[in-house]
Chain A
Amino acid sequence: MNTNTKLQTDMEKIDLSKDIAVIGGGYTGLKAASRISESGYHVILVPQHNDADFNFSVLDVPSTEINRVKALENEVANNTNVEILPKSTLVEATGVPGDFTLKFLFADSVIEKKAGAVVVATDTAVNPLNTIYGLNPAENVVSLSEFENLLASQDTKKEIQTGQKTVAFLVGFAHEGSPLLMKRILNSVSETVGMDGCSAYVYVNNIKVADDGLERLYKQSRDNGAIYFKLEKSPTVMQENESLTVRFHDPVIRKDIELNPDMIVCEESMIADETNLSLAKILRIDQGPMGFLQNENVHRLPVNSNREGIFVIGSAREVQSLSQSWTDVDNMVLRVKQLIGDGEKSISAKAVVDREKCTICLTCYRCCPHEAISWDDKAIISQVACQGCGICASECPMDAIQLIDFTDAEMADRIQKAASAVTANTPKLVAFCCQNSAYEAGMTAKAFNYQLPAGLQLIKVPCAGKIDIHYILDALVEGADGVLVLACHHGNCKSESGNTYAKWRINDAYRKLEQIGIEKNRLEFATLASNMAVDFARIVIDMEKRISQKKD
């Protein structure tokens, strides 16, 4: 084990670029550009998808917000602190937080920009679902977006009104939907019944009202005459030339019913922007479900990605309404200010590389969940990007990486003390505890005076990913009767994969113990959350019992 690495713990002064790149030109991107520039930073806005220079996509903006968004669009277009890169696509991103180098493809040329931070603010795209109902687009079969457009223009709205149309809405049978979609549907239903002579029939599966004002909107539309059929199964919809038929079983009157609407409005789904995946690849950030970006992480603010200095906001991370995504913008601006400040920062190292030992095998680079490692002729850790989890240090085959607060030498010392602590005839247990979960749970268990084994010693680690297989074996060598590795729950690791690495190493340790001929149950792996003091106590007491029985 490494015992003589010289650690450089001086504060490092670094400069951070005050240019912030915003990718996405919808209402989230516009708001982000506006708010970041208000905070005194220069914004590089990359609208993507736009055809004309300032043609931002405001199609998805709720009608009540159109004026606000238009004003915002105007403000951003005239803001001298916002530089707009129209028709450009991000093709390469290198560097570290505070000093990213971004390359954009514009026509055939490449534009290079420096940025201190990157904000991904892509919008959702709309996906029509008419084919699932067996419907073909027609003048009287439209998608929700198309219907919204018809209502938005006075001329086409009048056409619907004078025709005294009966409009059928199909909702929730082609996909589960979301409150945001339901809001758009309820608004359209309300507007339809608000027109003299028009009526609205809504065929709906689950009515998703879990957002501000939706319950009210739903009730209002019913009070104004909209009729809702809440069905478990999709109605049978037939389209023959211009004639439309909706057949279904009404669960209230328990009869089969057939209706002939003048028009059908078919639900649609809101899907992630198609550029998200390539952005994730280029920016080396995690993908989430269904084409959205980043996994949920309970230890992290929602707008923070797995990489420091790269933020994912609004509908880039999940389907969001305008007000939700503008809240994301506010949160992001706080984080940008915290990171970039006034462009200068003193930072103390969390992890250092012994350049003499480093054999540049790239293991650390490949394992770092925060993409904090690069290399010249040896590995380099960006101290701004580093989150101090220690996964790299415990994977490095040369022990060339040391965490300032958890050096191998200090850990060896702690292990030796913990494993040899004198206890009268009770098993000596060494528990390696992640400071984000198990350590908290253990301290709570102590504070509440839960019954804990007399021979239990806790060793705090910054993340279960720092628990080296060497530490586990060493604890046994130094005299521990049992070793516990206590990590965060699956999917709950602050550093994404620290608990996964810990689990892999435990399995490796089990193989080794078996070969050596040592009882496997002297080693235990368990996952905890910080509020699970009771479970902590149970796990360690169980371990003590098991080992006592073996000793007898």
Chain B
Amino acid sequence: MIVAERKPFDEIKELIQGYKKILIVGCGTCVAVCLTGGEKEVGVLSAELKLSQKSESAPASFGEATVQRQCDFEFLDEIKDIAGEYDALLSMACGAGIQFLAERYPEIPVFPAVNTTFIGVNKDVGWYEERCKACGTCVLGMTGGVCPVTMCAKSLFNGPCGGTNQESCEINKDQPCAWHMIYERLSKQGRLENIIKICPPNDWRNQKPQTLIQPGYEERKALSE
């Protein structure tokens, strides 16, 4: 899932400074699961903002709406009847959702209330760890299911580097060396020969925004153009 965290309150306050009617828009998928931008968090942020404006002579008013996913136009349409009543939208979705919301309602200023941090896993309630950099060239098959791009500080494809220190990375003793983990995993599975195979360099396609069309849907896309 995509993991995000709430922006500092002061930053949010500053972003919406001067706007008088603001709709806080939550997203019911990734950011809800990581307890950052679902319906509950929309309500809490709304209460915080109301509280901070209480002493002002003309406090702004806040509306609340949470859609299933802000990365789908169909769901964004659900607020089309009310969006026009507001002079700003405050999105609690990931960066993709925020941009899509801004694209769907280009005439209204859209502000982010969260920082999108990483693609990660859920270790326990409220505890997430990064596992994927969305590099576009997955090598997990060769590395025993441990991602060197994410887990190695240098994102080395053919590691380890000279900084590997026992089981740790040179940057920090608490940071495990990804290539040590890869070695351990492969050796447990009897697939150590993988580690000496040369992994070709990454195709850094994600230097520019990417588009993905599932092979079965190329004709559908052609039809829509």
Which residues does A use to contact B, with CB under 8 Å? 1-2, 357, 359, 361-363, 366-367, 395-400, 468-470, 473-474, 476-477, 512, 515-518
Contact = CB atoms under 8 A, between A and B. Distances in A.
A516 B52 contact: yes
Chain A CB within 10 A, most for which of B10, B33, B47, B66: B47
Given A361-B33, A516-B9, A516-B48, 15 more contacts: A2-B39, A359-B29, A361-B34, A363-B125, A396-B40, A398-B38, A398-B39, A398-B40, A399-B39, A470-B40, A470-B47, A474-B47, A477-B50, A512-B9, A515-B8
B137 to A, nearest CB: 30
Contacts of B54: 477
B43 A363 contact: no
A362 to B, nearest CB: 7
Given A512-B9, A516-B52, A473 B47 contact: yes
A512 B38 CA distance: 18
A13 to B, nearest CB: 32
Interface of B: 8-10, 28-29, 32-35, 38-41, 43-44, 47-48, 50-52, 54, 64, 66, 122, 124-125
B188 to A, nearest CB: 24
A228 B175 CA distance: 61
A398 B66 contact: yes
A417 to B, nearest CB: 17
Contacts of A399: 38-40, 43
Nearest to A2: B39
Nearest to B9: A515
21 contacts: A361-B33, A361-B35, A361-B122, A395-B125, A397-B39, A397-B40, A398-B39, A399-B40, A399-B43, A470-B44, A473-B44, A476-B47, A476-B51, A477-B47, A477-B51, A512-B48, A515-B10, A516-B51, A517-B52, A518-B51, A518-B52
A512 B47 CA distance: 11
Contacts of A361: 32-35, 122
A366 B8 contact: no
B28 A398 contact: yes
A534 to B, nearest CB: 33
A266 B64 CA distance: 72
B47 A357 contact: no
Nearest to A396: B40
Given A474-B47, A512-B9, A515-B10, A359 B40 contact: no
A104 to B, nearest CB: 30
Contacts of A366: 124-125
Contact of B44 (A395, A469, A476, A518): A469
Chain B CB within 10 A, most for which of A357, A361, A399, A476: A361
